[in-house]
A = this chain, B = another copy of it.
Amino acid sequence: MRTPEELIKKIYEEKGKINDVFLTACGGSLVDLYSGYYFVNAESETMHSHWLNARELVTSPSKFLKSGALVILCSHGGNTKEVVEAARFAMEKGASVITMTHNPDSICAQEEFNSIIYSWKDDTNENARPQGIVLRVLNELLKMQEPNYGKYEAILDGLEKADDMVRAAVKKVQNRTWIFAEKYFNEPFLYIMASGASYSQAYGFSICSLQEMQWMDCCYLNSGEYFHGPFECTDEDHLYILLMGTGKARVMDERALVFMEKYGKKYEIIDAKELGIEKIDESVNEYFCPMLFYAMSVAYRTGLQDKRKHPLDMRRYMGVVEY
């Protein structure tokens, strides 16, 4: 099997310039693709990026989904119907695809899809998981395609350091996750906020870790949008989790924090700066916050699982009934 770097070099050599990068999947896998989307949007001067649900890619295709487009897909189980259809649809349109899956026996693992089969064990390095793979692919692509691109080494260095950073952070918050669960396990509802590259981690924390795995009601918010409506719900009875990232978007998280401190009472701050993100170069560390926050969502949901006695793997519909 080719490495992600070999794969993108092969595609680039075959197809020439890439104009559009589509990052598409469903649910938790879609969340994993957001940092790549945000990275291309912020750094590239030759490529547009798109981030959307795999079924929306097929129902409402952009006319830029054609030769010159690269479509990166992810399906953990590898047979998600919408993802398989999106991959085939993209290929019919002349786009190049890269498909990531954990399942070597799945449809997505077939070679025609330029598949990357990733490991998903406790000790799998962050740079070998989907978020890391996407950054590796896009970093290579930017280097090949854009002479002005100056962050190649910084991203490589970040990919080198990310795993230790995440593991140390997980240890650091262990006790906090227990305290959080002890205080809030019975909360009827909460809001989760983030901004910039990390916005999708508020989304994933909500729809995967809480709604899916804990059947807990919650809502994700963009910290920048919070002040234009949602903050009217804030009071001492409402619970919030605020993910504070780095980069220029952080000003929005900081503004939300000031407001929380003044008008809220029940809020959990998960701050990347306090959790080691600054070991990675300042020019790129905002793109690594999502990895860190994903690990935090796992830590917090595990705390909740243990206290609430609601197994993370319990499902009433997914994989259980037809739909």
Contacts and interface: CB of A to CB of B under 8 A. Distances in A.
A229 B255 contact: no
Interface in A231-275: 231-234, 238, 247-249, 251-252, 255, 258-259, 263
A317 B26 contact: no
Contact of A63 (B45, B189, B215, B252): B45
Contacts of A227: 26-27, 318, 323
Contact of A217 (B59, B195, B206, B233): B233
How many of chain A's residues touch chain B, expressed as a range? 35 or more
Interface string A198-224: 000000001110011101111111101
Given A234-B317, A249-B60, A27 B229 contact: yes
A174 interface: no
A48 interface: yes
B232 A211 contact: yes
A53 B232 CA distance: 18
A248 B196 contact: no
Contacts of A196: 56, 59-60
Contacts of A59: 196, 247-249, 251-252
B248 A225 contact: no
Contacts of A213: 232
A219 B206 contact: yes
Given A42-B60, A55-B252, A234-B317, A228 B27 contact: yes
Nearest to A48: B48
A107 B77 CA distance: 52
Contacts of A252: 55-56, 59
A232 B219 contact: no
Given A196-B59, A249-B56, A255-B323, A215 B228 contact: no
Contacts of A53: 222, 224-225
B248 A230 contact: no
A314 to B, nearest CB: 9
A265 B92 CA distance: 41
A44 interface: yes
B48 A63 contact: no
25 contacts: A26-B224, A26-B228, A27-B225, A30-B228, A43-B63, A44-B63, A53-B222, A56-B252, A59-B248, A59-B252, A60-B196, A60-B249, A188-B189, A207-B221, A208-B229, A211-B232, A212-B229, A212-B230, A215-B232, A215-B233, A217-B217, A217-B233, A218-B219, A232-B318, A263-B317
